[in-house]
Amino acid sequence: MNPALTGVLADGGVTTGEAVTFWILAPIALAGAIGMVLLRNAVHSALSLVLTMLSLGVFYVLQAGPFIGMVQIIVYTGAIMMLFLFVIMLVGRNTRDSLIEVLRGQRVAAILLGIGFAMLLGTGLARGIGSIPAVGLAEANVNGNVEGIAKLLFTRYIFAFEVTSALLITAAVGAMILAHVEKKPGEKMDQKVLSRARFEKGNYPGPKAGPGVFATSDSVATPALLPDGTFTERSVSKVVPARELTIAEARPKAVNGSKEYGAIK
């Protein structure tokens, strides 16, 4: 297929292009990884992880593994990171780590042990493979990288491949168990039931709040929520109640399902 693909690295050496790209991207990858740990905003954290993953994808391509490089970019930076961001949006962007350590000295111990482990593995690997030239790349990629992978995946590792589908379906079913409430046959509400419920006593029949708004109503009498969940009185107009509504109607409406004003802390 692509004879050039095999030639460059056949002797196991490192070409200038590879070295230059590595020294540009390696600091970026590291910065992304460090940023992911240190940044306080979870979204920024996730985005710096994307940076690391993209750099890793380029590294794979550099090392004559274009398929795994593309998979890294499509699946990890695409799909998996999207899941990450979804989770962050679910949990709350403003949710920060508490700085209280449950086990004393855990943080320091974790950092020290982590650095120690990295150094041990790094020096060990440098000693173990530093001088050994890469072999077998030319044979592995003889018909192109993708075909080389396909040849293994669909012959010798076919059982592992098929069993992966069991893994994926378990994950899918698990996600649905944890995130989806199944409606029972009788529970499905039709238009009539819904509109009845809407005009029932105690409900404010005005238009509902838009999606994503943290309130059950966008009536002007509904106070806005501050980020800590408390109401801001300033957001309720002082003029409306006196002119048009009875006192009961003018009471600030319940938010987020609670019946009583101010029930949310």
Tell me which residues in 31-60 interact with other proteins (CB under 8 A). none
Q: Does residue 215 belong to the site contacting other proteins (CB under 8 A)?
A: no
Using CB under 8 A as the binding rule, the residues of this chain from 62 to 81 that contact other proteins are: 62, 64, 67, 71, 74-75, 78-80
Q: Does residue 12 belong to the site contacting other proteins (CB under 8 A)?
A: no
Nearer Cβ to other proteins, position 107 or 154? 154
Picking from 21, 50, 56, 57, the residue whose alpha carbon sits closest to that of residue 35 is 50
Q: How far is CA 13 from CA 8, 9, 10, 107, 133, in A?
A: 8, 6, 8, 41, 7
Nearer Cβ to other proteins, position 203 or 232? 232
Q: Does residue 144 belong to the site contacting other proteins (CB under 8 A)?
A: yes
Identified binder of other proteins from the candidate list 113, 116, 235, 251, rule CB under 8 A: 235
Q: Does residue 206 belong to the site contacting other proteins (CB under 8 A)?
A: no
- Closest distance of CB 240 from other proteins, Å: 12
Query: What is the C-alpha separation between 96 and 106, in angstroms, rounded?
Result: 18
Query: What is the C-alpha separation between 34 and 19, in angstroms, rounded?
Result: 22
Place of tokens 């196991």: 12
Q: Does residue 17 belong to the site contacting other proteins (CB under 8 A)?
A: yes
The number of C-alpha atoms within 13 Å of 76 and in the hemisphere containing its C-beta is: 18
Identified binder of other proteins from the candidate list 11, 101, 139, 147, rule CB under 8 A: 147
Picking from 9, 20, 85, 31, the residue whose alpha carbon sits closest to that of residue 58 is 20
Identified binder of other proteins from the candidate list 23, 102, 227, 246, rule CB under 8 A: 227
- Closest distance of CB 106 from other proteins, Å: 12
Q: Does residue 237 belong to the site contacting other proteins (CB under 8 A)?
A: yes
* Contact assessment for residue 225 and residue 231, using Cβ atoms and an 8 Å cutoff: yes
Nearer Cβ to other proteins, position 16 or 246? 16
Query: What is the C-alpha separation between 146 and 153, in angstroms, rounded?
Result: 10
- Closest distance of CB 94 from other proteins, Å: 7
H/E stretch holding 232 reads strand 231-232
- Closest distance of CB 220 from other proteins, Å: 9
Of 27-35, 47-55, 105-113, 140-148, the segment contacting other proteins by CB under 8 A is 140-148
Picking from 172, 165, 163, 164, the residue whose alpha carbon sits closest to that of residue 83 is 172
Compute the chain's Rg from CA coordinates.
Answer: 29
Q: Does residue 191 belong to the site contacting other proteins (CB under 8 A)?
A: no
Using CB under 8 A as the binding rule, the residues of this chain from 73 to 132 that contact other proteins are: 74-75, 78-80, 82-83, 86-87, 89-90, 92-94, 121, 124-125, 127-129, 132
H/E stretch holding 224 reads strand 224-225
